[in-house]
Amino acid sequence: MSFKRASGILLHPTSLPGPDGIGDLGPEAYRWIDFLYEAKCHLWQVLPLGPTGYGDSPYQCFSAFAGNPYLISPTLLLDQDLLTRFDLIDRPDFPANKVDFGPVINWKLTLLDRAFNNFKNGNFPELQKAYSSFCNLNADWLDDFALFIAIKESQGGVSWDNWPENLRSHKVETLNSFKQMNSDAIEKHKFRQFLFYNQWSNLHKYANSKEIQVIGDIPIFIAFDSADVWANPELFYLDDSGKPTVVAGVPPDYFSPTGQLWGNPLYRWDAHQKENYAWWVKRFKSVLSTVDIVRLDHFRGFAGYWEIPAGMPTAEIGRWAKGPGQPFFDSIKSQLGTLPIIAEDLGEITPDVIKLRDDNNLPGMKILQFAFSATAADPFLPHNYPKNCVAYTGTHDNDTSVGWYNSAPEKERDFYRRYLSRSGEDISWDLIRGIWSSVAMFSLCPLQDLLSLGTDARMNYPGKPSGNWGWRFLPDQIQPYLVLRLKEINSLYSRD
């Protein structure tokens, strides 16, 4: 699939301003799209939009299909009469510049429970009709997810492999009994999904009406403690008690002497192939019904992945295993056609990964922060970019550009200054200009770089288990001059 030359900003909705402790899909999200439109940006990139679990990470979700209920806007529920002003009077005093996840989750779930009760006890014929339609259309994942979360709540939130055996192993009689006794709890979670998808769909349509495409994210691996693994154990390497036998990660490298132990369960690719990759087809369909373009995270795992025996303390002991390769993409294309995919091809990339990417004509990623530690032949330097790539100043996993420059070795800082012919006084915008002026099809930067913020605005530290994903911007940080500056650079480099 060919893309038009364009630019955009990486910003997860949790980072938007708003009164409820976390960014959501309400008025500030619409203002954000207006900003992009005025600045002549045509792309908005988000992180995975699923219901977050361990460490509040959007890359560890309770479902590959469900939406994050914490993103539901109370303001929009107020407009629908699902909440009243009285429901909001006990709102806590949240910090404006970060997400304090514990109190925020308690508050959001309290509000969602109130909205559900108001829905059940009120007169909402049109909404009821839309809700019933949503449940019917999405039953193939929604029923499992709502049941999974309801059981999880009844078990004190523990991982599903610690549930009683009959619940863990899908004993039909036990599950039917649970459904009868907990129908309200199950319904509550279906209703939350309805609210999320209703709000997101409206926001997505608004973005498209402003000629803005949304870039979403599919992590290759999914969380073990998820409805998907619980409901489809035959598709993963699990033992008889439901625990993983091997897990995902990456081996030791220059950045990490012990590698990265992610701990996600690994796919039985042979089982997926026998089903003609039905679960993956469903996953692609689901995500592409909510976004326009997909970044396929850890693309190299489709060629080969690092398999670590379960129980290892680090990722040092493991082996390379063969991924599904070209037959996977052939099957997906035969069922869904050519898809708008960006391949996240960072890290240790081998010839088979490059071949898989190029044989499918997928744009890879270039990170300008990575470009200044070697020579002029470095593939991350703009003069080496192919046209079919997506260039970033940095991503959610990197330091901000100002933070990178402040901590980089002087040799790298000197190379950057000489290469871009700049003094280092405006580092973020130097890097923005560097990728915007390149031949790269898409150029993107995190909002933190647009605002020239330092390390304290960093979104994620890979390998750090907690304290991530909390950064938020303040409304007054988006000033009129920023629109003019971004509009000018989009015009200068034909990205408008």
What distance lies between CA 73 and its chain's CA centroid?
19
**Which among 100, 307, 352, 397 is annotated as catalytic?**
397
d(CA 304, CA 59): 20
Q: Is 98 helix (H, G, I), strand (E, B) or coil?
A: strand
H/E run at residue 264:
strand 260-265
Residues in the chain: 496
Instruction: Note if 297 is an active site residue.
Output: yes
User: One-letter amino acid identity for 280?
Assistant: W
3-state secondary structure of 81: coil
State the Cα–Cα distance between residues 310 and 296, nearest whole angstrom.
25
Question: Is 344 one of the annotated active-site residues of the chain?
Answer: yes
Could you tell me which of 385, 363, 369, 364 has the C-alpha nearest to residue 437? 385
Contact 431, 401 (CB under 8 A): yes
List 344, 412, 430, 449, catalytic entry: 344
Is 476 noted as a catalytic residue in this protein?
Answer: no
Instruction: For residues 57 and 53, give the distance between their C-alpha atoms in angstroms, rounded to a whole number.
Output: 7
272 three-class SS: helix
Could you say which of 297, 399, 412, 430 is catalytic? 297
Q: Among 4, 7, 2, 3, which Cα is nearest to 43's?
A: 7
Taking a C-beta distance cutoff of 8 angstroms, is the pair 339, 292 a contact? no
CA–CA separation, 344 and 368 (whole Å): 15
- Which residues are the active-site residues? 297, 344, 397
